[in-house]
Structure 1
Amino acid sequence: MNSVAFQRLVFAMLLLLNIPFLKAQSPTKGTSVSSRFLDSVLQDYAFRSFSRHRQRTGAIYDGIVSPEFTGITVSALRLRSGRLRRKGFYGYKEFDIPGGVIQSPYVERVVLVYQNLGNWSSVYYPLPGYLFLSPVVGLLVYNASHLTAKRLPELDLRASENPILIKFESLGLLADGVLRKCVFFDLFGGVEFDRVLNGSVCSSVKQGHFGIVVKESVPSPAPAPSKTPENPIAVGGGGGAGGGRWNNEWWIGGVVAGVVLVVVVFGGSWAVRGFRQRRRIEKMEYEAEGGGPLAVAAVGSALVPVAMGTRTRPVLENEYVS
């Protein structure tokens, strides 16, 4: 096995070992590490595009990514550093690079690698509290001295006169009045926000990854319950959820009121019955006050007066005097 084949085998093993772990990263410090690993992988795919074409300075070559990165596109553009600084380069996908940009350290030729993360944008660049209206696109600059090199470090690219413009062609649908923001992810895990120009254009003075986002809508609070009517009237079927709730409440209130009413009625009737019984006993005692007190006997739980045991002796019919 030659050295080139061995290097490819080692790289493939590293890729297989790292990719599942990277996808499982949470949106914390680990995510910036996974996105940086992705940059090195996409740099290799972009550089491979030169081997399939006759290498021409100033030509854009689209790379081919492996199936596990389906949805991500990469391209490579090789330029002389002097030409890039004097004239810039306009129309490199979404990027317009003006004259006056400089790279550090200085090299004779550079390769500008373009990335479009598509539906992987929020995976490698999660932004809690925001929704992406555009895919995340990246522009990274490398030394063009070795087009077969892998995991190259990026050069530092700065715009010294006019900013780099990122023109997004299409954005996701959103409601009127929602504020759009440009978001910039630098190569060190930093995040910056800026205003959107002309509805879909962002600007920057350095390389990195860019997108347009909006804040996630906050659920509106539930409306306050309506006041209970003083004289509720049952209307129709009332099949709605709210009607059923109010019907249940009134039904429970009616049951409670009925129980209270029954207790009041029976308590009042017992009180009236006791009052009448006491009045009857007092009257009987008053009428019998001339002949002595009446005998008292227990009837149930009450004491009532009763007649004495003596009564008028009966007279037989034949005892009458004719």
Structure 2
Amino acid sequence: MISFASFCVIFTILFTKIPSVKSQSLPPNGELSFSPRLLDSVLQDYAFRAFSRHRPRTGVVYDGNVPSNLTGCTVSAVRLRSGSLRKRGFHGYKEFDIPKGILENPYVERVILVYHYLGNWSSVYYPLPGYSFLTPVVGLLAYNAVNLTAKGLPELDLRVSENPILIKFENLGVWPDGVLPKCVFFDLFGGVEFDRLLNGSICSSVTQGHFGIVVEERMPAPVPAPPKMPEYPIAGGEGSGGGGGRKKGWWVGGSVAGGVLLAALLVVLVLWVRWCSGRKRIGKMKDAAEGGAPLTVAAVGRAKVPVAMGTRTKPILENEYVS
């Protein structure tokens, strides 16, 4: 018989989800999912570990180590008093110049500023379609410094009250002519913002996050389409060239009909000219007949009829030619 306590233990083992720790999660398509928020949590852990190797002092920057699967990234941390940060700022923290007037929410007595340098992982964790990175992505995040061994801490809300935070980049990559580099800002909620550069290589921000300089990729010029060959329709077909064939057939038919009509008009014109010429010739003959020598009218009985005049030439007998 299984005791009630043993049954409870077996039930707990079978139906309780055992958590597992993975460096990256696998989405349904089987490809690695690179989560920036997961990366922030991992780098916070390794940045805090840098304090354990030293006797931590306020205002001193400590460089941490990163796991082997993040080779190319670097992480650093510095612990500051909130009052000192608000009154003096903190200048020269890697690429960041932090001005005075910084406020954190919620308020804490001491704050740890964690610095990220993503190197060749920049476009992996922060892909930006249509743009190329001229600099690696760098980040600045603030945490509560009450526990230097804590993991998975939430970030403090870091804001400026006077001048903005400046991010001074060096060794910008080469970009093509005709395009303008831009600052890009990635916030902690997945938002992306662009801004203009200051003095050619400086970005500014009013809050924490990740920053870089990008340039818009130039799309290649479209290849001109080859000239379209004329399509000749197939008899009885209704393919892509059927509409053009029908138009061409109508054009040919109209040309033939126009030629026949023109020929008919020419024939009618010739016949009309010949008819007019005949009528004119007949009219002339009538005029000539009517304009001849008039005949003498004589009465024959009760009627009057034309009578030819007497012969004017005297007849000559044949014997008169004989001498």
TM range (shorter): 0.5 to 0.7
> Please, what TM-score do these two structures have when normalized by structure 1?
0.61
Partner of 1:298: none
Partner of 1:85: 86
Partner of 1:46: 47
Partner of 1:142: 143
d(CA) in 2 for partners of 1:91, 1:197:
17
Q: Equivalent residues in 2 for 1:4-153 (5 A)?
A: 14=21, 17-19=22-24, 21=26, 24=31, 34-153=35-154
Q: Is the 8 Å Cα contact of residues 186 and 211 (structure 2) preserved in structure 1?
A: yes
* Dislocated runs of 4+, deviation >4 Å: 223-226
Q: Is the 8 Å Cα contact of residues 85 and 100 (structure 2) preserved in structure 1?
A: yes
d(CA) in 1 for partners of 2:62, 2:115:
10
Partner of 1:318: none
Q: 1:224 to 1:19 in 2, by over 3 A?
A: closer
Q: 1:18 to 1:65 in 2, by over 3 A?
A: closer
Q: 1:95 to 1:24 in 2, by over 3 A?
A: farther
d(CA) in 2 for partners of 1:216, 1:99:
37
d(CA) in 2 for partners of 1:162, 1:106:
20
State the shift of 1:177 in Å. 3.1
Q: Equivalent residues in 2 for 1:225-304 (5 A)?
A: none
Corresponding pairs, count: 207
d(CA) in 1 for partners of 2:68, 2:20:
15
**Structure 1 letter corresponding to 2:184:** V
Q: Is the 8 Å Cα contact of residues 24 and 32 (structure 2) preserved in structure 1?
A: no
Could you list the per-position Cα deviations for residues 61-92 of structure 1 after superposition, in whole angstroms to 9, with x for gaps in the alignment? 00000100100000001000000000000000
Could you list the per-position Cα deviations for residues 203-251 of structure 1 after superposition, in whole angstroms to 9, with x for gaps in the alignment? 000000001101111001225779xxxxxxxxxxxxxxxxxxxxxxxxx
Q: Is the 8 Å Cα contact of residues 118 and 136 (structure 2) preserved in structure 1?
A: yes
d(CA) in 2 for partners of 1:69, 1:57:
28
d(CA) in 1 for partners of 2:223, 2:87:
60
Q: Is the 8 Å Cα contact of residues 25 and 32 (structure 2) preserved in structure 1?
A: no
Could you list the per-position Cα deviations for residues 94-126 of structure 1 after superposition, in whole angstroms to 9, with x for gaps in the alignment? 000000010000000000000001000111111
**Structure 1 letter corresponding to 2:174:** L
d(CA) in 2 for partners of 1:84, 1:166:
17
CA-based RMSD of the aligned residues comes to 1.9
Q: 1:163 to 1:190 in 2, by over 3 A?
A: same
Partner of 1:214: 215
d(CA) in 2 for partners of 1:187, 1:203:
17
Any gaps of 5 or more consecutive residues in structure 1?
1-11, 227-322
d(CA) in 1 for partners of 2:176, 2:127:
22
> Please, what TM-score do these two structures have when normalized by structure 2?
0.61
d(CA) in 2 for partners of 1:218, 1:103:
43
d(CA) in 2 for partners of 1:67, 1:13:
20
Could you list the per-position Cα deviations for residues 151-182 of structure 1 after superposition, in whole angstroms to 9, with x for gaps in the alignment? 00000000110000000111111123321111
**Structure 2 letter corresponding to 1:21:** L
d(CA) in 2 for partners of 1:39, 1:215:
27
Range 120-129 or range 170-179, more displaced: 170-179
Partner of 2:8: none
State the shift of 1:199 in Å. 1.0
d(CA) in 1 for partners of 2:225, 2:148:
66
Q: Equivalent residues in 2 for 1:148-227 (5 A)?
A: 148-222=149-223
Q: 1:69 to 1:13 in 2, by over 3 A?
A: farther
d(CA) in 1 for partners of 2:225, 2:36:
46
d(CA) in 2 for partners of 1:112, 1:164:
13
